[in-house]
Amino acid sequence: MHFPVSGVDVFPLVPPLVAFAVATMTAPAGVSGAFLLLPFQVSVLGFVSPAVSPTNLVYNIVAIPSGLARYIREGRMAWPVTWVVILGTLPGVLGGALVRVRYLPDPRSFKLFVGLVLLYLGVRLLYETTGRYTQQKKELKALEQRFQQRVRELKAGHQARLAAGLPPEAVVRTRSFGLRRIEYEFWGETFGFPTMTLFVLALVVGIIGGIYGIGGGAIIAPFCVSVLGLPVYTVAGAALAGTFLTSVAGVAYYTAIAPAYGATGMAVAPDWLLGLLFGIGGMLGTYTGARLQRYIPERIIRGVLGVLVTGLALQYVLQFFTK
């Protein structure tokens, strides 16, 4: 099948199957599959124009809503975190899209950028298999276990709706929301962080996401957990919401500026059909990966994924200097 926007010729079942495999592998590690789909499009499908970035963002738009709705229903959305992430990443992703089209249209330079982003993610995943990282997570894991135990008790007691049945301490409640600091309660404990620290991070991540074609959740979520000390149960929903909204904004912006580059022959608007096929596979793979998580040790998942991502990153970086 020929996809006219991207110029790709591929059997229509290949994109959803690849996205399904990628999402199934990455979901147990809590990492978006979008960052691995872009190298597949670039290196395997030969989709190297700037249009590949918004096409990758279409994947997020299709794959994320189901998971995001669950966090909202269960009352696990830390809305102050969500709003700061959105306020930072939205302008960032628009700036990133502009950088991609103006300064990184060349496939060789873009591959170097992709390689550097992947290198960070790969090293991060490998670090998360070390004893030092495991020690840092002990407190948050204890909180996570208490939450899961309470959920099991509620299910056993046939409560009506999970979110409605959760006790007040198991639902995120905002204590203060200001320019200097944000605080919220979850499971009887108070968590806080400097507002501008997260805003600046979100802005930088938005720029990276706009260039690459990812929402940035894979970068923001680990930072919030390991550096700001926030529980992953309250961070995941905020990261997903930020990723979803910035993906929508990124796709809209790329589509809006596409006519300005029509005379150059450079494809800028997303390939919607290709992106939708990836998104459908990703949606099913995310669900499957989440179900498989309980059967595979997290450390093994992150280790294998870290080796694969780091190897791919080094390949891209070396290609830039050897070709």
Number of structural domains in the chain: 1
Whether 63 maps to a domain, the answer reads yes
The per-residue pLDDT for 164 is 47
* Domain ranges, residue 43: 13-322
Across the chain, the runs of DSSP E, i.e. the strands, are 2-3, 8-9, 173-177, 181-186, 189-194
pLDDT at 163: 44
pLDDT for position 151: 56
- pLDDT of 199 reads 94
State residue 143's pLDDT score: 61
The one-character DSSP state at 43 is I
**Residue 8, in any domain of the structure:** no
Task: Give the pLDDT confidence score for residue 160 in this predicted structure.
Answer: 47
Quote the pLDDT of residue 150. Answer: 61
For residues 185 and 181, give the distance between their C-alpha atoms in angstroms, rounded to a whole number: 14
Nearest to 19 by CA among 198, 256, 287: 287
Question: Is position 1 within any domain?
Answer: no
Residue 186: predicted pLDDT: 79
pLDDT of 33 reads: 80
What phi-psi label fits residue 266: left (phi over 0), alpha (psi between -120 and 50 degrees) or beta?
beta
pLDDT at residue 31, rounded to an integer:
66
Pick out the chain residues at pLDDT < 70. 28-32, 74, 132-170, 218, 226, 290, 293-298, 323
**Is residue 118 a contact partner of residue 312, using CB atoms and an 8 Å limit?**
yes
CB-based contacts of 190, cutoff 8 Å, min separation 6 = 175, 183, 184
pLDDT given for residue 162 in this prediction: 45
125 lies in some domain = yes
2 within a domain of the structure (yes/no): no
The reported pLDDT for the residue numbered 298 is 61
Chain-centroid distance, C-alpha 265: 31
Please, are residues 212 and 57 in contact by the beta-carbon 8 Å criterion?
A: no
pLDDT of residue 135: 66
Q: What is the pLDDT of residue 12?
A: 93
Does a structural domain hold residue 307? yes
Q: How far is 79 from 72, CA to CA, in rounded Å? A: 10
